[in-house]
Chains A and B, each alone.
Chain A
Amino acid sequence: MTVKFSRLPVFVSLMLIASAVCAQDVPAPPVQARTPHFGLDVFVGTPSAADDIFQAVFPGISLRFLYSRNVEFSLDYAFIALEYYYPKSPSGPWVGPVEWSSVPSRFSGLRDSWMFYHTRHYISPLAWYVERFDEGNSPFALRVGAGPVLSLVIPNGSADYYPGLSDAFEKYELDFDIHPGWSVAVGLEYAPWRLFRVGVEYLFIVDSLPDFVDNMGRSGLNYVDKAGNLKLFMGLRI
């Protein structure tokens, strides 16, 4: 039996529960000696159902600059994927990119030294508005961010010495349909201690405005749900 769940309802439920908790009286944290200015978050995200850049669980880090009480800037980086290529025969052609499980069994055991691969990376600088509940006395805060997204494909240097592989790389890069786009994120953070944060975030990536309008017109909120990614994060503030 397959249990399917939708990302958007899960996230909305989490937000509602958190809001209910926030509405209750929460003990005020002790007077802060110094306001933190910088932060480092680590996160893990779920793949999106749609055919976008995150097709598997992805880890990442986020460097944050706390400009003011309500405004933050971050630079997010996520490692998207390591994908492989292989020659079908010594005369070619080369096949890829594929997951290692799809590489022929004759090459099994060579994964650690395999040099025919590329890696994909996600980089996004974001500007955030942070709304702290109960004038900052609550440990909860809502954050909303937006910024450009850059997705990079970095081939291994072995393509310089294997022209068949180089051709396969070039073909993939031509077909690679993720262009610089925009990301929008909505998150809820919880600060159990003054310098520590955990939270959940919903990340949505838009390739372009016309593309977004077109998809929304066809699929409505279902598109937002399919193309979104749920992120769990934890981080330090200094």
Chain B
Amino acid sequence: MRHITRPFIGLLLWSFFLLTGCEEVINTILDNPAPMGLEVSDGEYPDRIEVSWIEPSLTSDRWEGWEITGYDISWSADGGISGFFHTGSTSYSIDVSIDERAKLYDIEVTTIVEGPVGGDTEEASSSDTGFALETRELIWYDGGYEYNFSGDDAWYVTMLQKGFTYSFAFSNGETGFVEIYRYKTLEPLLEATATGINPSWKCSGDGDWNKYYVRVVPTSPGAVFHAAYGF
């Protein structure tokens, strides 16, 4: 029996680990009241980051008589961005201004629990990262298509095929560069920054189901560019 049980327990723990993530496994094993199932939006909204979690269970003997009094949410990002909010609910929306878009926020949610004896409190937290992003869709028409925008840069969501070459030809003598990011991340692919009048990139794969962010950055604000696929 033992030789069957051990791999089974191992498989069960491994599945649990994969499904819930390292931090939650540790929190569960330690029986601490950290928020469960923390979810943070990754670029779904241009003006906010949505944070939500599940109320932790206080059903074990250790927490008999204790109750949750609320949650502290704190966040920070490059450029001196930081904030704090206390709430009794299990979700919160962090407002993000135009200048603070496309910046990775470190977000921590802390549960505050109060014991049966007056004054006794304990805290436990979960953390994740998220960001706000304004995106448009980059469509690959046969023979190419001309896009334009007025700001310093523009973020697009698109799907790219490994082995295909994607070109972004600036008009009016403009130059600039193009960065390719994996979808729902703010980490540019190292090999995927193209510069010049006609930046182009041969897709090497590794996208999230072939989905990517493309950031187009002209040398001066506003650009017209012709996007086309080839092979």
Chain A residues within CB distance 8 Å of chain B? 87, 90-94, 106-107, 109-110, 113-116, 157-158, 160-164
Contact = CB atoms under 8 A, between A and B. Distances in A.
Nearest to A114: B161
Given A106-B231, A113-B210, A92 B142 contact: yes
A93 B158 CA distance: 20
Interface string B176-213: 00000000000000000000000000000100011000
A91 B231 contact: no
Which one of A90, A109, A157, A163 has the greatest number of beta carbons of chain B within 10 Å? A90
3 closest A-B pairs by CB: A92-B142, A113-B162, A164-B142
B75 to A, nearest CB: 32
B139 interface: yes
Interface in B146-189: 158-159, 161-163
B163 A164 contact: no
A110 B164 CA distance: 10
- Majority SS of interface residues in chain B? loop
Nearest to B138: A161
A106 B230 CA distance: 12
Chain B: interface size category: 20 to 34
Given A90-B228, A115-B161, A162-B140, 16 more contacts: A90-B142, A90-B229, A91-B142, A91-B143, A106-B231, A115-B209, A116-B161, A158-B210, A161-B138, A161-B139, A161-B159, A162-B139, A163-B140, A163-B141, A164-B141, A164-B142
A41 B141 CA distance: 45
B95 interface: no
B137 interface: yes
Contacts of A93: 142
Contacts of A113: 161-163, 205, 210
B50 to A, nearest CB: 23
Contacts of B229: 87, 90, 162
18 contacts: A87-B231, A90-B142, A90-B144, A90-B228, A92-B143, A94-B142, A106-B231, A109-B163, A110-B163, A115-B159, A115-B209, A116-B161, A158-B161, A158-B210, A163-B141, A163-B142, A164-B141, A164-B142
A161 B205 contact: no
Contacts of A115: 159, 161, 209-210
A90 B231 contact: yes
A126 B112 CA distance: 54
B142 A161 contact: no
A60 B124 CA distance: 47
Contacts of A116: 161
Nearest to B167: A90
B159 A90 contact: no
A49 B168 CA distance: 49
A110 B231 CA distance: 12
A158 B231 contact: no
Contacts of B161: 110, 113-116, 158
B140 A110 contact: no
B159 A157 contact: yes
A15 to B, nearest CB: 41
Contacts of B140: 161-163
Contacts of B143: 90-92
B169 to A, nearest CB: 13
A90 B228 CA distance: 8
A86 to B, nearest CB: 9
B204 to A, nearest CB: 10
Contacts of A109: 163
A115 B211 CA distance: 10
